[in-house]
Amino acid sequence: MELSKVTLEIFSKLEHKWLSHYETNNKTRILSIDGGGTTAIVAGASLIHLEDQIRLQSSDPQAHIADFFDIIAGTGIGAILAAMITAADAFGRPLYTARDSVRLITERNSELYKVKRSGLFRRCRRFSSRSMNNVLKQVFERKEENGRLLTLKDTCKPLLIPCFDLKSSAPFVFSRADASESPSFDFELWKVCRATSATPKHFRPFNFTSVDGNTSCSAVDGGLVMNNPTAAAVTHVLHNKRDFPSANGIEDLMVLSFGNGSLSAGASENSNRSTPSVVDIVLDGAFGLGTKKEMLKEMGLESLPFGGKRLLTETNGDRIESFVQRLVATGKTSTPSSPGKESAVTPLDNGR
């Protein structure tokens, strides 16, 4: 029997809708948060809006960002945020919401970055390592387990954070996958965040070891080598077939990258910047230095090759909402939450 033109159009639309859902549903979802500055105004506002939209569009008031991403990466203060929204409680659920994370960083910012003077005539402005250490330890502990300090294995989703190791003169990338393979690559989360935040101008190099004491590192700011950790996250996913078997190329990825405003621009000159062909949406926040609401109302910027920028017609808030629509359509992620199931190693300099 011959189908009418209307019937064919209906089937065509249904087929297109099904294929679009199928293609999107198989994509690996990456969230990347840049370093830069000490306040995280841009990234913080973006994360809160992202989580609010996820809860609104999924009709789940308890949903977390980690529920809808397969891997989360961060550098500097972006790494602190990334670690907070992936750190797991005793039940394997995220320990902090995005709003809780941003509020804590805001309320305790003067402790995280406590200014102290040193040098001749006390002209050298540095931050107190002891003060930051104390805050990070309190952030990454499980009070229900007598204050046990969390490690890379205690995350509900894969986490990727870079620093630069002065001992090997090479990037050192912390990952939950490596931590699951061996305690020699498992580090306490507060130390990981401390390492990637050790900006040479403000902190001394941070010396620390793995949980078993077999791996040592003398770390400085991860932003020196990859202020935007998107490239490291993409490389990790494409070489990690056990956890991301469907990711065969960049066309299989959905990437959301949050910048931290113009404060990170200087550091990004020597970092690995992502190209539009890899990243679905990039919020650089170059204009977002006012209030959080103003940042979301600013017109978005598209990153172009060779460091170029193009002003878009959509606001930052609109772009996040559009991305979440695609994100929620795919459903919650199925990436194994048990660290015992991970065994892939990121193929970067020094293998970490």
What sign for the dihedral angle of Cα 283, 39, 92, 189?
positive
Phi and psi at 335, nearest 5°, equal -60, 130
> What is the token pair recorded at 28?
């690996």
Rounded (5°) CA angle 84-71-283: 80
| Burial state string for 165-190 with b = 16 or more CB within 10 A and e = fewer than 16 | bbeeeebbbbbbbbbbbebebbbbbb
Biggest CA pair distance of the chain: 93
161: β partners: 174
Active site residues: 221
Of 289, 284, 316, 287, nearest to 300 by C-alpha is 316
Q: How far apart are CA 351 and CA 240, in angstroms?
A: 13
Q: How far apart are CA 189 and CA 209, in angstroms?
A: 12
Question: Is 193 in contact with 199 (CB distance < 8 Å)?
Answer: no
Cα of first residue to Cα of last residue in the chain, in angstroms, is: 62
Task: Specify the DSSP class assigned to residue 213.
Answer: S
Radius of gyration of the chain (CA): 21
Of 49, 42, 157, 41, nearest to 95 by C-alpha is 157
Q: How far apart are CA 22 and CA 170, in angstroms?
A: 40
**Alpha carbon of 88 to those of 66, 336, 338: distances in Å?**
10, 13, 11
